[in-house]
Amino acid sequence: MSLRFYNTLTRKKEDFIPIDSKEIKMYSCGPTVYNYPHIGNYRAYIFADILKRVLLYEGFNVKQIMNITDIDDKTILNSQKEGKTLKEFTEFFTEEFFKDLKSLNLLEPSKFTKATDYIDQMVNIIKKLLEKNLAYKSTDNSIYFDIKKFKNYGKLSHLVLEKQKDNASGRIKTDEYEKDNIQDFALWKAWDKKDGDVFWKTDLGKGRPGWHIECSAMSMTNLGEQIDIHTGGVDNIFPHHENEIAQSEGATGKQFVKYWMHNEWVLVDQKKMSKSYNNFYILKDIKDKGISPISYRFWLLMANYRTRINFVWEALEGSDIALKRLYGLYIDLGNDIGKISKEYQQKFKEYIEDDLDTPRALSLLWDLVKDANLSPADKKATILDFDKVLGLDFENVKKEIIPEEIIKLSEEREEVRKNKDFKKSDELRNKINSLGYEIKDSSEGPKISKI
Ligand code: AMP
Ligand code: ZN
């Protein structure tokens, strides 16, 4: 089998054929640093991380750029609210983001790029678009992309083109808007007093870039006019990525991205987790409950990146216990590292090559751990091999992991408690204590720790 990815552009799973097999060029839309990202946002970065790890596992070199949006409507507004300069405000949240990525065990991209470092390159693209008549200046000196002039507008989000374009009655200056509000979008926003001291004086006048041009400039500057893969969450498809295509392909006349890949949402009560619905959690909320960020990563990998998943604490708690159990079983394998099982590796490759099928890869991991026909040392080697892709950090698992025996006793106790057999439940608790562990019952279930 060969690598196959679902391409949003064609809405099909396709064989992955790189532009240049020596190095894959990959761009991942990064965070807008106006606040702490919520854990739904982290699905986008964990998905991009798994994708990159799969490419590395398959033997490719990968050049991955991730941007930091440190200038847009939201960063300006929130920095003003806090009475901070844009720079000091965005730098704080950028650092917090970096810390979170480490705790989620994400590989560092080849480079993080800050939008404010690329203003010149953005101006150059906009000038090209003006020359080609694909952009125009409006009465307030802002510059807009003329979507009716770009024949492929809508190809990514599969808009019913002519009908939508005919309805496109005006222009929109804000960065984010809905599909049914398709309009000419802002490439360059002329300064207005709401922007305060945030502006650049350029050949285009005094102002600041629109959000969409930022990613076109950072991608093309660092990776060239054409790249293999561009990632983001599904809500980036329109308008952000649609507009990136218009700007980049409008300027170069070449196809910008070969494979567009998007992760689905994390939901809460079946509604998208988002700041605007105020139904979000941040990574700190997870850590405050004594749950490791890696358990969140593990929970996400139990679903395919293209399916929506509903976040509930009980499920995360369950995956925390399951991961600890895996860690415990891994520790029990001893210190020797043997040979990677070719048979398991073959299956593992088959699953991850099929559009990153992490749920099947994880169930294979459980099969492997429980397989009585494989030596502990070979199991260990194979787990570490799988973990190059899964990133569950087996390499650094410490000895204080809760042993399998204790987990089993705790599960047994839960069972008898459900049946209201409190005598037996107390006996089991005593047994657990005698083995050096204690159980605390919390609203999210029992928590086991060393005495
Ligand atoms: P933003 O900082 O708002 O640009 O979002 C960062 C990334 O998170 C983008 O790729 C979004 O598509 C993605 N995203 C936003 N909300 C969710 C969610 N609830 N579930 C999964 N991904 C999301
Ligand atoms: Zn972007």
| Ligand whose nearest atom lies closest to the CA of 75 | 1
Same domain, 83 and 200: yes
- Residue of minimum CA distance from atom 7 in ligand 1: 41
CA of 4 to the centre of ligand 2 (A): 24
Same domain, 284 and 360: yes
pLDDT at 440: 81
Q: In the 3-class helix/strand/coil scheme, how is 374-390 assigned residue by residue?
A: CCHHHHHHHHHHHHHHH
Beta bridge partners of 62: 24
Name residue 318's amino acid. Answer: G
- Residue of minimum CA distance from atom 14 in ligand 1: 41
User: Among the atoms of ligand 1, which is closest to the Cα of residue 273?
Assistant: 19
Q: Is 241 annotated as a binding residue?
A: no
Residue-wise burial string across 279-306, b where 16 or more C-beta atoms lie within 10 A, e elsewhere: bbbbbeebeebebbbbbbbbbbbebbbe
* Unique residue bearing structure tokens 């300006």: 76
CA of 235 to the centre of ligand 1 (A): 7
| pLDDT tens per residue across span 30-44 | 999 999 999 999 999
Beta bridge partners of 272: 267
Task: Please list the alpha-helical segments (H only) found in 253-341.
Answer: 283-288, 293-301, 313-331
Q: Mean per-residue pLDDT for 171-191? A: 88
Residue-wise burial string across 147-170, b where 16 or more C-beta atoms lie within 10 A, e elsewhere: bebbeebbbbbebeeeebbeebee
Residue 132 token pair: 């080609």
Same domain, 329 and 235: no
Cβ count near 93 (within 10 Å): 21
Go through the chain and tell me how many residues it has.
451
Same domain, 426 and 384: no
CA of 175 to the centre of ligand 2 (A): 11
The DSSP-derived string for 305-330 is TTS-EE--HHHHHHHHHHHHHHHHHH
| pLDDT tens per residue across span 62-116 | 999 999 999 999 999 999 999 999 999 999 999 999 999 999 999 999 999 999 9
User: Among the atoms of ligand 1, which is closest to the Cα of residue 232?
Assistant: 10
- Residue of minimum CA distance from atom 15 in ligand 1: 41
Q: Mean per-residue pLDDT for 47-51? A: 98
Instruction: Establish how many alpha carbons lie within 13 A of residue 353's alpha carbon, considering only the half-sphere containing its beta carbon.
Output: 15
Whole-angstrom distance, CA of residue 333 vs CA of residue 383: 11
Does the pLDDT of residue 161 top 60, yes or no?
Answer: no
Instruction: Establish how many alpha carbons lie within 13 A of residue 133's alpha carbon, considering only the half-sphere containing its beta carbon.
Output: 3
pLDDT at 407: 85
User: Which CATH number belongs to the domain containing residue 248 in this structure?
Assistant: 3.40.50.620
Same domain, 133 and 282: no
In this structure, of 52-66, 272-286, 343-357, 424-438, the range with the lowest mean pLDDT score is 424-438
Same domain, 255 and 213: yes
CA of 280 to the centre of ligand 1 (A): 12
CA of 215 to the centre of ligand 2 (A): 5
Q: 264 and 235 in contact (C-beta within 8 Å)?
A: no
Does the pLDDT of residue 396 top 80, yes or no?
Answer: yes
Whole-angstrom distance, CA of residue 144 vs CA of residue 2: 42
Whole-angstrom distance, CA of residue 291 vs CA of residue 310: 18
Q: Is 264 annotated as a binding residue?
A: no
Report the SS3 class of residue 193. helix
Return all residues near 15 (Cβ < 8 A) that are at least 6 apart.
2, 3, 4
Same domain, 274 and 249: no
User: Among the atoms of ligand 1, which is closest to the Cα of residue 236?
Assistant: 12
Provide the residues around ligand 2 (an ion) whose CB is within 5 A. Answer: 29, 215
CA of 1 to the centre of ligand 2 (A): 32
User: Among the atoms of ligand 1, which is closest to the Cα of residue 234?
Assistant: 12
Q: Is 215 annotated as a binding residue?
A: yes
Structural domains in the chain (count): 3
Does the pLDDT of residue 27 top 60, yes or no?
Answer: yes
pTM for the model stands at 0.89
Rounded to the nearest integer, the mean pLDDT of the chain is: 94
Name residue 431's amino acid. Answer: K
Residue after which a domain boundary falls, among 396, 413, 438: 396
| Ligand whose nearest atom lies closest to the CA of 27 | 2
Angle among Cα 439, 444, 447 to the nearest 5 degrees reads 20
Same domain, 256 and 312: no
Cβ count near 309 (within 10 Å): 19
pLDDT at 167: 59
Helices 358-370 + 376-390 axis angle, to 10? 170
**Best mutation site among 49, 50, 94, 235 for ligand 1 pocket (most ligand atoms within 8 Å of CB):** 235
434 band by pLDDT with thresholds 50, 70 and 90? confident
Of 32, 43, 37, residue with least CA distance to 100: 37
Whole-angstrom distance, CA of residue 209 vs CA of residue 292: 38
Does the pLDDT of residue 162 top 60, yes or no?
Answer: no
Q: Is 275 annotated as a binding residue?
A: yes
Residue after which a domain boundary falls, among 218, 235, 263: 263
| pLDDT tens per residue across span 109-137 | 999 999 999 999 999 999 999 999 999 99
Residue 294 token pair: 């890696």
* Unique residue bearing structure tokens 């200046």: 137
**Best mutation site among 34, 41, 231 for ligand 1 pocket (most ligand atoms within 8 Å of CB):** 41
Same domain, 118 and 256: yes
Residue 128 token pair: 């090209």
Of 164, 155, 181, 114, residue with least CA distance to 250: 155
User: Among the atoms of ligand 1, which is closest to the Cα of residue 231?
Assistant: 10
Of 362, 341, 273, residue with least CA distance to 310: 273
323 band by pLDDT with thresholds 50, 70 and 90? very high
Which residues does a 6 A CB cutoff place in the pocket of ligand 1?
29, 31-32, 40-41, 43-44, 232-233, 235-236, 263, 265-266, 272-274
Q: Mean per-residue pLDDT for 299-312? A: 98
CA of 426 to the centre of ligand 2 (A): 55
CA of 39 to the centre of ligand 1 (A): 9
Does the pLDDT of residue 166 top 80, yes or no?
Answer: no
User: Which CATH number belongs to the domain containing residue 287 in this structure?
Assistant: 1.10.730.10
Q: Mean per-residue pLDDT for 10-24? A: 97
Residue 436 token pair: 């050096």
444 band by pLDDT with thresholds 50, 70 and 90? low
CA of 77 to the centre of ligand 1 (A): 19
400 band by pLDDT with thresholds 50, 70 and 90? low
Same domain, 211 and 320: no
pLDDT at 448: 79
Same domain, 318 and 250: no
Question: Is the model more confident about 418 or about 15?
Answer: 15
User: Among the atoms of ligand 1, which is closest to the Cα of residue 266?
Assistant: 20
Does the pLDDT of residue 399 top 80, yes or no?
Answer: no
Q: Is 244 annotated as a binding residue?
A: yes
Domain with 178 in it: 4-263
Same domain, 305 and 245: no
Residue after which a domain boundary falls, among 377, 396, 415: 396
* Unique residue bearing structure tokens 């054929």: 17
Whole-angstrom distance, CA of residue 72 vs CA of residue 69: 7
